[in-house]
Chains A and B, each alone.
Chain A
Amino acid sequence: MHAQTVRLIHLKQVGPDCHLLKFDCPEVANQARPGQFVHLRVTAGCDPLLRRPFSVMRTNPAEGSFEVLVRVVGRGTEMLAQSQPGSEFHVLGPLGNPFELSGPEGDVVLVAGGVGVAPLIFLATALHESERHRYVRALFGAGTEDDLCCWLELSGVCDEFTAVTEDGSAGETGLVTDFLPEQLDRGAGCVYACGPRAMLAEVARQCQAAAVPCFVSLEQWMGCGVGACLGCVIPTRASGVGRYQRVCKDGPVFDAAVIDWEAMRGGCGPG
């Protein structure tokens, strides 16, 4: 884990409210694994005060850079989107537990919702480059065609790719989870998912019914990002002190089977 000031070297708008930011940072470029995130301070001032977490979308160890895909949802992300190449940001990372690459045998199914595609692009890239040849099928859902940010980056590293939009402007029409049953019917070794909570809950439900291992990347508002404040917890099925686990340290990637999805529905935190 590193703490340092890094330079924004490139910034590109890739959707109506999505921006791809590339930072010069050899440490994160070399060490980050798919599923890990960086905790970024968006201003040196006191407002917004807290850092903002973003999944690493891609690394380029040769260039010593990493990229994050940022969707503008509030002040912090707006400030990032408005920043100029050359600006400096303080970053902590890489943080959290990565996806387990050596999952069970069989095809890998990726389910991405909106900007949740970011860690899955990193994961698919790593699977694509790994010696152990795994057949990767990806489902990527968003509201409209324009919201399918970076879909080329995902489809380029998958063996099969299905886009799904709610309004039918691209790919299949509906919710991305409408198309998961047929993927599971074909058989799958393991499912990895990242996106809105409701989507993840449905993915988890279907995987459990089909007895397919499922790993999800979760979000929660964060304080420290390093496991110290106990602010970023999500409910698990365990009882007692193990019930609430930290997204920053015990996650953000969790086995979907340990999550208490019923309690998650109670509106506990983002999306």
Chain B
Amino acid sequence: MAAGRVDLSVDLAGLRLVNPVLVASGTFGYGTEYADLVDVSKLGGIITKGITLQPREGNPPPRICETPAGMLNAIGLQNPGVEVFICDKLPALREFGIPVIVNIAGETADDYVALAARLSECEAIAALELNLSCPNVKQGGMHFGIDCALTRTVVGAVREATRLPLITKLSPNVTDIAALARAARDGGTDALSLINTLLGMNVDIRRRQPTLANVTGGLSGPAIRPVAVRMVWDVADAVDLPIVGMGGIMSAADALQFIMAGATAVAVGTANFVDPGVTGRIIKDLAVFCEEHGVARIADLIGAAHSEESR
């Protein structure tokens, strides 16, 4: 079997992706930032930076801080607001010709509903990703994502406001992520994505103060990968919904761990900063892996680590 003939396509809640490699929200801007360096049209899809109803100026700096094999960020959802997004960002995103998944965030359930309704009027949006898990804003964000009843309510309300496929993004900052996954399912989500960043902190010992102006930030990068793989595994066991797995993916081997743990697609985040060419390499290496292991369709590997036979 030639690598070119391996079928990398996957079906994410009715959304057909030519390959399972997406870019994670907040790490790839609105696509154009990387257009000089990456052939964006070759990606399975793009998940855009979190959008809110009103523009947000974001948190004061410093907003990021490097940690061992990872980084903390507290961007605070800086974004131009949904109207500017639709006018200024969406047309260019559409040009890439790949599924555009718009990540939305709100402070109240009504915010999410209004965002979903507004974005549903636009063409060229493939799906919505509900960010119920941002650790870096005072109101909303993670506040929803750590409470099962709230999660179910918000997802249910958005479900009624749009016909676009809904992907609910789960927070890892909980004791039982499977319970949240079930709550999102009960609310009517079509898919789940996980994980968002893990709440963390760094102290600048020279200044004797927190390094980040926001005090805490979200940890991402290779450091969180084992936690993320475990959570994808747990959620795949708990619910029968497609999963977008993410957290520290740097290579095809990392992506395959998520897929075999139960993810239908994966999203690459922090690794884009380290190596903008990483997504292209992952897509290529996924095909090579499949070819070398006699796998005709990558979809056959989804959840492969769960089956008794594969042991």
| A contact set with B: CB distance below 8 Å | 1, 3, 41, 46-51, 90, 92, 220-235, 239-244, 249, 263, 266-269
Cβ contact within 8 Å between B63 and A3: no
- One digit per residue, 1 when the CB lies within 8 angstroms of any chain A CB and 0 when it does not, for chain B 43-59 equals 00000010000011110
Residues of B within 8 A of A222 (CB): 64
Which chain B residues in 207-260 approach chain A with CB under 8 Å?
A: 207, 209, 213, 221-222, 250
Is the Cβ of B272 less than 8 Å from the Cβ of A228? yes
Q: Are B61 and A268 in contact (CB under 8 A)?
A: yes
- B251 to A: closest C-beta gap in Å: 11
**A41→B275 contact, CB < 8 A:** yes
Q: Report the separation of the CA atoms of residues A176 and B71 in the bound assembly, to the nearest whole angstrom.
A: 35
User: Main secondary structure on chain A at its contact with chain B?
Assistant: loop
**Would A263 and B60 count as touching, CB distance under 8 A?**
yes
- What are the 9 A-B residue pairs with the smallest beta carbon separation, nearest first? A228-B29, A231-B64, A228-B33, A241-B55, A46-B69, A268-B61, A224-B273, A269-B62, A243-B57
Partner pick for B29 among A51, A220, A229, A242, CB 8 A cutoff = A229
Please give, as numbers and ranges, the residues of chain B lying within 8 Å of A51 by CB-CB distance: 273-274
Sample of 18 A–B contacts (CB below 8 Å): A46-B221, A49-B70, A49-B274, A50-B66, A51-B274, A92-B276, A220-B61, A220-B62, A221-B62, A226-B36, A228-B272, A229-B27, A230-B49, A231-B75, A233-B61, A244-B78, A263-B60, A268-B61
**CB–CB B27/A48 < 8 A:** no
| Chain B residues, Cβ within 8 Å of A241 | 55-57, 78-81
Counting chain B residues whose Cβ lies within 8 A of the other chain, the interface size class is: 35 or more
Residue of A nearest to B204 (CB): A267
| Residues of B participating in the A interface, judged by any CB pair closer than 8 Å | 26-29, 33-34, 36-37, 49, 55-58, 60-66, 68-71, 73, 75, 78-81, 207, 209, 213, 221-222, 250, 270, 272-277
Are A230 and B75 in touch, CB under 8 angstroms? yes
A49-B69, A223-B73 given as contacts; is B60 within 8 A of A231 (CB)?
Answer: no
Q: Which of B27, B68, B73, B276 has the most CB of A within 10 A?
A: B276
Most buried by A among B33, B64, B270: B64
A49-B270, A226-B276 known; A268-B78 Cβ under 8 A: no
B28:A228 contact, CB within 8 angstroms: yes
The reply to whether B213 and A268 contact each other, CB–CB distance below 8 Å, is yes
Nearest-CB residue, chain B, relative to A248: B33
